[in-house]
Amino acid sequence: MFYQKGIDDTFKELRTGSSGLSTEEAKRRLEEYGPNVLEKAEGPSPVQVFIHQFADPLIYILIIAAFITIVLQDWVDTGVILTVITLNAIIGFSQEIKAEQAVRALRSLAAPKAVVIRNGRVEEVDGEELVPGDIVLLTSGTRVPADLRLIEIIRLEVDESAMTGESIPARKMTAPLSLESSSVGDMKNMAFMGTLVVSGRGQGIVTATGAKTQLGSISREVARVRSAVTPLQAKLDHMGRRIGIAVIGVSGIAVVLGIFMGEKLVDMVLTGIALAVGAIPEGLPVVVTITLAIGVKRMADKNAILRRLHAVETLGSTTVIASDKTGTMTKNEMTVVRIFAGGRLYSVTGTGFSPDGEIVPGSPGGRNMALEMCLRAGLMANESGLEFDEKKKTYVPRGDPTEVSLIVSAIKGGFREGEERVKYVDVDEIPFESERMYMATLHSDPDGKGHIAFIKGAPDRILGMCDRELGQDGMEAGLDKGRVAAENDSMGSEGLRILAMAYKKFPADVTGIEPSMLESGSVFLGIQGMYDPPREEVHEAIQQAKRSGIRVVMVTGDHKVTALSIARKLDIVDDENAAVLTGQDLEPMTDEELYEQVGRVSVFSRVSPIHKLRIVQQLIKRGEIVAVTGDGVNDTPALKAAHIGVAMGKSGTDAAKETAEMVITDDNFASIFAAVKEGRVVFANIRKVVLFLLSSGLGQVIFILATLVMRLPLPLLPSQIIWMNLVTNGLQDVAMSFEPAEKGIEYQKPRPRNEPIISRLMMERLVVIGIVLAAGSLALFVWELGQGSSIEKARTEALTVMVFYQLFNVFNARSETRSAFRMNPLANPFLFFSIVASIIAQFAVIYWAPLQYIFRTTPLGLKDWLLILPVAFTVIIVVEIDKAVRRIMAKK
């Protein structure tokens, strides 16, 4: 591995040197290694996407039915059926046409240009022309064009959050590393394609290009990973196949029975088709799409943007949320919360980059000169800044969040950066280097006696440079390294990142400093502990998730102690000694071993992209419905493998957003759980529509089959069956998509993965409703024939009672358990007015001559209505009794 090799060995292995490759050698290697581009992913064409819309068992039957009506020249039925099929295809096509663009988003991260050394001079070349062995120059603001082994750096910092998930820029080094690790975050002497140079300069040797880079390996994983079929898709497909088989069978039986009873073949074929159209919930695909679209709109109002409709329901059935830490559960704003100086420990109030807060002493003791100097050192030995935006009335950080947190703590301590810069004039600086582990700045001392250097860095490194410490009274005394080490360990156990401060004075004739001048004789000032605070609303969201039966798992690139500390604060884990698995722990594990671990471990730290993918895959293998959050390129394989990928809108890369099904616009975990509730509402409303459509269809089938068996005339003509479905299902099923959430739905346990859309309760109820509809309609039909009424009047009454049965049945379907009389009929105004519209339409069919002619109906009198309405209302009475019995049984 190149990160383990020295610079000379790297030059030798790649057959290059400090003057770079020659133009001829670069061309030869370009032929050998190929262009520096990521592999293109072949996504589905628009034609393929459109054809896919017809891959549904219910649609197959409708297409066959339309073909038969064309042969029989029944153009009205043909038009109705084709309209339904076309509408469904258009809606589905418009939703899917922008899908599957993840790898193309990855390719956009490749730098279009690169500055290299070739033929001994600096040249700019196309990024695609880079080859292993090229010497690449890096400057602030540029994107790394290939994987590089760094050979020269000056304060080089690279934002690798897109690869590692860590919010803090990585400070680079050039020395070889002896560690054995596959984690990008640990390879401090490497720079990787697609990452961004935040500050400093550097040079690196190209070690890999195109598909051979770390970004290329992630791209291959994304291309290979198959998106999990959502539970709703699987359930709808299964239900569609079963309904299709049943409808074909029933329609065939009806045709055979009719012919056996003496009906004409053509009439019975048309009746069979009409029965199939009536029994098939052909509006279901459209209604499901509309219901999902409504869920999308509601989620968008709560900062969750859905890119794929089926993700709405999937989120509602989620059992595990595997979430990033930085920026999702935390604010991504480093905050100093502990300071130890002058032998005293202080707490710092307030969070984030706002300087609202104060430094609170742990014990009384008056002024502490060591604390003041510790704060001043953090303020002065600092390359970042904090500015106040007058328009937005907020503080805007500039630079490293860790350094900004030191500025904020100094302001909380009463300092003003501008005033301090005037008093302590800058003279010289030693920038931070990974090898040194500190930075220092030299300033003129306000006392006029010389210069003073402020030093900031890793506690162990700073302690090694000091032999004295500053006391509360401003006097220097012997350094108690044991006490400092104990406080350092205590802060570390809280998951804090710790920086130490010191100073050293020099005479006035010293106008510059070198590292050798600071190696000894410095005065220790104190340590400051900081962390990225959890979002306040996330704790409650996680508690709600737990009450809802959803397990939250933290998967982060951060360090083990920090991850565990945040997990405890958010109650992801309860035990202080809870198990945490790191990337190094996962590396030797087999999939079988990881399968066992993911069932009990809720915190994973220092993970690589492949580790995160494996974790998600094993959770899915355990039967979980997994939602995974992410914002970087490193997250894309896991985002695609999960049932639902959730990308961050603010900090997320284009690759993550294109791969994910959902984008959270405020990067907030709480928004994810808010979307869970909407997902559950969506599934509940889909179930309500299914219950309504299937129970009505079953009632029609039983009714018509019963009349055939009883050797009665056909109770409904094909055109009347189609009309009935149009007037009762055309608006009501869509209107039910707008049903508001039932109380407490967010606290219900996630549905079992294998639970079908039609639950046992629904199956029992739709049978009951089907029998009630059929029995009442059959009784009225037989009654009218027995009274000597014409067949046209008997059919009109049968049609009308079936229409009102279904309109009353809408109220039953609004809840599986709550009484229809306890639900506000105007809570869903669309549904209420759709029922009113259907009643008006049915009256028009009965009393308006043109429609009477088309549908062969006759006017009904008042006595007829006094019979029809009570019979139709029995469907509510029967279901209310069923609901009451079930509520009583549930309490026992």
pLDDT of 213 > 70? The answer is: yes
Secondary element (H or E) of residue 117 = strand 113-118
According to CATH, what is the number of the domain 286-301+678-746+753-891? 1.20.1110.10
pLDDT of residue 285: 64
Smallest CA-to-CA distance from 337 within 326, 322, 323, 352 is with: 352
Who wins on pLDDT, 879 or 246? 879
φ, ψ (nearest 5 deg) of residue 98: -95, 10
The two three-digit tokens of residue 283, written as one number: 């509006």
Q: Are 570 and 538 in contact (CB under 8 A)?
A: yes
Is 775 within 8 Å of 805 (Cβ atoms)? Answer: no
Token pair of 732 as six digits: 């009501």
Amino acid found at 841:
A
Rounded CA-CA distance 611/597 in Å is 13
Helices 57-71, 265-279: crossing angle, 10 deg rounding: 150
788-834: per-residue pLDDT in tens? Answer: 999 999 999 999 999 999 999 999 988 888 898 988 888 899 889 98
pLDDT exceeds cutoff 90 at 768? yes
Burial of 544 (0-12, 13-18, 19+ CB in 10 A): middle
Torsion, Cα of 874, 877, 879, 880 (10° steps): 170
Per-residue pLDDT at 65 exceeds 70: no
3-state secondary structure 158-183: EECHHHHCCCCCEECCCCCCCCCCCC
Higher pLDDT, 278 or 744: 744
Task: Look at residue 55 in the predicted model and tell me its pLDDT.
Answer: 65
Class of 2-40+105-224 in CATH: mainly beta
Which of 74, 77, 147, 324 is an active site residue? Answer: 324
Identify each DSSP E strand in 394-550 by its residue range.
394-398, 426-433, 438-444, 450-457, 466-470, 476-478, 497-507, 522-531
Q: What is the pLDDT of residues 249-293, one digit of tens each?
A: 877 887 888 888 777 787 777 677 767 766 666 556 666 767 776
With 50 as the cut, is the pLDDT of residue 108 above it? no
What mean pLDDT is predicted for residues 772-796? 93
The residue ranking higher by pLDDT, 494 or 240, is: 494
Compute φ and ψ for 50, nearest 5 degrees: -65, -45
The yes-or-no verdict on residue 99 having pLDDT over 70 is no
Domain segments of the chain: what residues? Answer: 2-40+105-224, 286-301+678-746+753-891, 311-330+535-674, 335-531
pLDDT tier, 472 (very low <50, low <70, confident <90, very high otherwise):
very high
The residue among 47 and 688 whose pLDDT is bigger is 688
> Nearest 10 degrees: CA dihedral of 306, 307, 308, 314?
-40
**Percentage of the chain modeled with pLDDT above 90:** 34
Q: Domain 335-531 classified CATH 1.10.620.20?
A: no
Structure confidence at residue 783 (pLDDT): 93
Of residues 487 and 80, more confidently modeled: 487
Give the pLDDT of residue 210: 87
pLDDT in tens, 591-620: 999 999 999 999 998 888 788 899 999 999
Beta-strand relationship, 147-159 and 426-433:
unpaired
- Token reading at 56: 């549904």
Higher pLDDT, 63 or 208: 208
pLDDT, tens digit (0-9, with 9 covering 90-100), for 509-535: 888 899 999 999 999 999 999 988 888
- Of 345, 346, 307, 350, the residue nearest 331 (C-alpha): 350
- Taking the C-alpha atoms of residue 637 and residue 225, their distance in angstroms, rounded to an integer, is 7
Nearest to 607 by CA among 326, 310, 320: 326
| Whole-number pLDDT of residue 668 | 79
541: left (phi over 0), alpha (psi -120 to 50) or beta: alpha
What is the structure's pLDDT at 330?
A: 81
E strand residue ranges, 179-256: 190-191, 196-208
Q: Please say whether the beta carbons of 206 and 134 come within 8 A.
A: yes
341 Cβ neighbours under 8 A, 6+ residues apart: 368, 370, 371, 373, 374, 470, 525, 526, 527
pLDDT of 844 above 60: yes
Write down the number of H helices and E strands in the chain.
32, 27
The answer to whether 147 and 184 are in contact (CB under 8 A) is no
Please answer whether residues 308 and 661 qualify as being in contact, where contact means their C-beta atoms are separated by less than 8 angstroms: yes
C-alpha span between 190 and 153 (Å, rounded): 11
Q: What single letter denotes the amino acid at residue 693?
A: L
Mean pLDDT of 303-321: 76
pLDDT higher than threshold 60 for residue 470: yes
User: Among the ranges 106-120, 324-338, 451-465, which has the highest mean pLDDT value?
Assistant: 451-465
Predicted confidence (pLDDT) per residue in 533-565, tens digit: 888 788 888 888 888 888 999 988 777 888 888
Which are the contacts of 481, defined by CB distance < 8 A and separation ≥ 6? 463
Residue whose pair of structure tokens reads 């020395």 in the numeric block: 175
Tell me if 264 sits within 8 A of 77, measured CB to CB: no
Strand partners, 341: 344, 526
Buried b (16+ CB within 10 A) or exposed e, 570-607: bebbeeeeeebbbbbbbeebeeeebbebbeebbbbbbb
Q: What is the pLDDT of residue 134?
A: 94
pTM of the model: 0.61
Question: Is CATH 3.40.50.1000 the classification given to domain 311-330+535-674?
Answer: yes
Whole-number average pLDDT of the chain: 83
Q: Are 215 and 193 in contact (CB under 8 A)?
A: yes
Please indicate whether residue 887 or residue 332 has the higher confidence score (pLDDT).
887
Structural tokens at position 107: 């390719």
Residue 222 has pLDDT above 50, yes or no: yes
- Residue 433, helix vs strand vs coil: strand
Lowest mean pLDDT among 99-113, 228-242, 325-339, 572-586: 99-113
What is the rounded average pLDDT of the residues 58-66? 66
User: What confidence score (pLDDT) does residue 148 get?
Assistant: 94
464 CB burial (10 A radius; 0-12, 13-18, 19+): middle
Structural contact between residues 628 and 616, judged by C-beta atoms closer than 8 angstroms: yes
Cα Rg, the chain, nearest whole Å: 36
Q: Please report the pLDDT score of residue 291 as a whole number.
A: 73
Q: Which of 108-122, 226-240, 834-848 has the highest mean pLDDT?
A: 834-848
Residue position matching structure tokens 């492949």: 610
Q: In which band, very low, low, confident or very high, does the pLDDT at 95 lie, cut at 50, 70 and 90?
A: very low
pLDDT at residue 45 in the model: 65
The CA-atom distances, in angstroms, between 263 and each of 255, 257, 855 are 9, 9, 20
- Looking at residue 94, its pLDDT comes to 58
Identify the pLDDT of residue 236. 67
Q: Of 830, 831, 809, 829, whose CA–CA distance to 820 is shortest?
A: 809
What is the pLDDT at residue 110? 40
Mean pLDDT of 846-859: 89
Concerning whether 324 is annotated as a catalytic residue, the answer is yes
Q: Which of 99, 103, 93 is nearest to 306 (CA)?
A: 99
